[in-house]
Amino acid sequence: MSARPRRAAPRAIIPRMVLAALLALMAMLAVPPAGKAVAQTQGTDKTQAPKPAPIDRNGVLILIRSALLALDQANKTGNYTVLRDLGAPGFQANTAARLAEIFAKQREQNLDLSGVAVIDPQLSLLPQIEPNGMMHMAGSFPSIPSPVNFELVFTSVSGQWRLFGISVSIGQMSTPSPVAQATSPPPPEDGKSSRVGKQKHRPLAAPKQP
């Protein structure tokens, strides 16, 4: 009796990061001089060019400040439940305990992000809609008291933008890279950061309507 050819085992599919630059948070794993921490969600692929996000300046400020202040409170209290609950379903794949591990170094270094409430950010990447439908932005706060670099990714849930990826680092105004994402979170990294990429910084401005 002839033997049948053996069927090749299916290859495991590895999710790709939201952005090769944030979300490279959200390439998320290049370590800046001071180190960094990253929370991750689910990868996506980019085949089309991103386009400006239909959101005004006030909307951008609200999203940036609410995300960073939620992280600040989580770091100061050690309770990441609220930060997790504010995120999109993909972000919530990270447990509160997992987020505590990811941002442990920031807690040890007493990272203070409270200044973002009163200082305007400078955007290195104006809000844009990626091919996967997520909104991606990056920038920095000049001094609070040290420069804070950030990279954020949001996804629409029931008509509202919810946090999908977050990356924060302290130091020279370098650019962010991929941010917070869920399904298979990478191991925590040292340092005062959560990921960012490299681009020229511009003052905050409302993106053009498509």
Tens of pLDDT, residues 180-210:
444 444 444 444 444 433 333 333 333 334 4
The answer to whether residue 28 sits within a structural domain is no
Mean pLDDT over each residue of the chain, to the nearest integer:
72
| Contact yes or no for 163/86 (Cβ under 8 A) | yes
88: CATH? 3.10.450
The answer to whether residue 170 sits within a structural domain is yes
The residue that leads in pLDDT, 1 or 74, is: 74
Report residue 58: phi and psi, to 5°: -65, -40
pLDDT at position 81, please?
Answer: 97
Q: Is the pLDDT of residue 84 over 50?
A: yes
pLDDT at position 145, please?
Answer: 67
pLDDT at position 1, please?
Answer: 53
The answer to whether residue 43 sits within a structural domain is no
The answer to whether residue 183 sits within a structural domain is yes
The answer to whether residue 41 sits within a structural domain is no
The residue that leads in pLDDT, 71 or 109, is: 71
Q: Is the pLDDT of residue 179 over 60?
A: no
Q: Is the pLDDT of residue 17 over 80?
A: no
Q: Is the pLDDT of residue 57 over 90?
A: yes
Residue 87, strand partner residues: 163
102-118 tens-digit pLDDT: 999 999 988 899 999 99
The answer to whether residue 47 sits within a structural domain is no
Q: Is the pLDDT of residue 99 over 80?
A: yes
The answer to whether residue 5 sits within a structural domain is no
121-173 tens-digit pLDDT: 999 999 999 999 999 999 999 876 678 999 999 999 999 999 999 999 887 65
The answer to whether residue 6 sits within a structural domain is no
Overall domain count for the chain: 1
The residue that leads in pLDDT, 25 or 173, is: 173
**Which structural domain, as residue segments, surrounds residue 160?**
54-203
